[in-house]
Structure 1
Amino acid sequence: MPNLKLIWVALIIILGTVVVPTFAQPTISGDLSGSLGPGEFAVVGEITVLAGTTLTIMPGTTLLHRGHYTWIIEGQLTAEGTESDSIKFIREQPITSNNWGGIRFVPTFPVQNNLFYCVIDKAVNSGVSGGGIYIMGNHLTMQNCRVSRCYVDYPNEGGGIYAYYSSTLHLEECLLDSNTGYNGGGGIYLNYCNGATVDNCTITRNMSPGT
């Protein structure tokens, strides 16, 4: 008869080596519309909101970028967080390869976009203006947002935000901190804007080393 004690020991050893699966964040890329969140999502490719569609990002959503991926907004983006549940556009790991490409509003026709209580951090671009935010010929309202540590290299402008060509931009209670626009506008650069307002914002520690 098999030794029962040895059998129990073997079972304990086997059970002790069972690997408990872990569940990674859902991955997103490509064309998005409808609602996204809340929760954490790994961004693994370029994101596009197509013309005529709307993407609504829910409070408490964190977008973790695994590489230099850009959000291209041809349609409408609504990302309205709250004071207790912000929306974060950040890199997944604190490494250079996880720096991402920012949010670029390039519509076929102007629509109203909203970013409330959003964090936009460590977006880096080369060869184009606008590190964290680029807006051309569109309408964007940002309230209680933080744009930080974003960068564009020579000869480009607008490390944090770059607004161009009849864009209507409204910033309220926002923080633009530690951004770099090599050729000007470390925090924000306005170029032929139809209307821009900056109310009760803090713009600090931004740099333009090429000027």
Structure 2
Amino acid sequence: MPSSPRRALIVIDVQNEYVSGNLLIEYPDVNVSLANIGRAIDAANRHHVPVVLIQNIAPETSPLFARGSAGAALHDLVSSRPHAQVIEKALPSAFAGTSLGDWLKTHEIDTLVIAGYMTQNCDDSTVKHAVHAGMSVEFLVDATGSVPYENRAGYASAEEIHRVFTVVMQSRFAAVLSTDEWIGVLESGAAPVRDNIYMSNQKARARG
């Protein structure tokens, strides 16, 4: 069995819908996150980390990600770069109803690196699915992104959503890194910093 970590970069739903369609990423700025997604893919390819592109597809009648629509197409920034696999999904988690779990097992992957959209939805669902399956996760905070929401529960800006979800991820579910930090980890072999719920809570309480 290969020694850990054996990584795969999972690039979730980098589709035109989020860049020029009906669900525009607002935070971090989509041009920033796109550039970092490209850098992450390039670094993964340099370091022989397989890249898996995830593509969300909805029925043809859907207002978002409708099969065959321009919005559902993978953005050229990711589709034009070398990748090992493209996997379609219809639910938030990239594992749910897909071949991803089997693909990871076949390739003896034990660590998922998450980039793409959206932080609070498909990214978060995939992160937790991976953790519950016994995998380690690394989350690229500036190669992901959110949109704002308003509904009967209230309003939250894209920045609030992204910040809170990433703080929670770092407390238990993932090592949250910038793209630069992650590339540094690949180059140095150092382990990324991880936290836990207890220490995260103690630090917050110490703020007074």
TM-score range, shorter chain: under 0.3
Normalising by structure 1, we get a TM-score of 0.27
The structure carrying a bigger helix percent of its residues is 2
| TM-score normalised by the chain length of structure 2 | 0.27
* Bigger Rg over Cα: 1
